[in-house]
Amino acid sequence: MADKDAKTAKPWGGRFREATHRSVERFTQSVHYDRRLARHDIAGSRAHARMLARVGVISEAEAAAIVRGLDEILAEIEAETFQWRPDLEDVHMNIERALAERIGEPGKKLHTGRSRNDQVATDVRLFLREEIDRLDGLLHDLQSALVAQAEAHPGLVLPGYTHLQRAQPVLWAHHMLAYFEMFKRDRGRLADCRRRVNLCPLGSAALAGTGFPLDRESVARELGFDGITANSLDAVGDRDFVVEFEAAAALVMAHLSRLSEELVLWASAEFGFVELPDGFCTGSSIMPQKKNPDVPELVRGKTGRVIGHLAGTLAVLKGLPLAYNRDLQEDKEALFDVVDTVADSVEVMAGLVARLAPREDRMRAALRGGFLTATDLADYLVGKGLPFREAHEVVGRAVAACLDQGRELADLSLEELRGLSPAVDEDVFEVLTPEGSVAARRTPGGTAPDRVAEALAEARAWLGRRG
Catalytically active residues, by annotation: 163, 284
DSSP H/E element including 159 = strand 157-162
- CB of 119: closest distance to ligand ARG in angstroms? 7
* Residue of the chain from 163, 326, 415, 465 that contacts ligand ARG (CB under 6 A): 326
How big is the site for ligand ARG, counted in residues (CB under 6 A)? 9
> Taking CB under 6 A as the rule, does residue 328 contact ligand ARG?
yes
Q: For residues 229 and 204, is the Cβ–Cβ distance under 8 A?
A: yes
3-state SS, residue 165: strand
The answer to whether 353 and 177 have CB atoms below 8 angstroms apart is no
Site string for ligand ARG, 16-55 (x = CB under 6 A): --------------x---x---------------------
- Of the candidate spans 47-55, 61-69, 125-133, 326-334, the one that interacts with ligand ARG by CB under 6 A turns out to be 326-334
Q: H-type helices in 198-323, by residue range?
A: 216-222, 232-237, 240-266, 294-318
CA angle 221/224/230 to nearest 5° reads 60
Q: Tell me the closest approach of the beta carbon of residue 37 to ligand ARG, in angstroms.
A: 9
CA pair distance 418, 245, nearest whole angstrom: 59
174 lies in the binding site for ligand ARG (CB under 6 A): no
Of the residues 45, 143, 229, 329, which one makes contact with ligand ARG according to CB under 6 A: 329
Question: What percent of the chain is helix, strand and coil (3-state, nearest 5)?
Answer: 65, 5, 30
Interface segment toward ligand ARG; rule CB under 6 A; list 115-123, 249-257, 263-271, 397-405? 115-123
According to CB under 6 A, which one of 73, 88, 120, 190 is a site residue for ligand ARG?
A: 120
Residue 334 Cβ, how far from ligand ARG at the closest point, in Å? 12
* 204 forms part of the interface with ligand ARG (CB under 6 A): no
How far are the Cα atoms of 3, 9, 82, 338 from residue 105, in angstroms, in the given order?
22, 17, 21, 40
Distance (Å, whole) CA 377 – CA 424: 10
Instruction: Tell which positions 79-98 bind ligand ARG, by CB under 6 A.
Output: 90
- Residue 202 interacting with ligand ARG (CB under 6 A): no
Residue 117 touches ligand ARG, criterion: CB under 6 A: yes
Cα within 13 Å of Cα(160), Cβ side: 19
Identify which range of 42-50, 160-168, 321-329, 344-352 contacts ligand ARG by CB under 6 A: 321-329
Whether the CB-CB separation of 358 and 156 falls below 8 Å is answered with yes
Q: Which C-beta is closer to ligand ARG: that of 264 or that of 328?
A: 328
Query: How far, CA to CA in Å, does 396 sit from each of 33, 388, 428?
Result: 63, 12, 16
CB 355 within 8 A of CB 266: no
Among 109, 116, 187, 392, binds ligand ARG (CB under 6 A): 116
335 versus 431: smaller Cβ distance to ligand ARG: 335
Q: Taking CB under 6 A as the rule, does residue 63 contact ligand ARG? A: no
Binding residues vs ligand ARG (CB under 6 A): 30, 34, 90, 116-117, 120, 326, 328-329
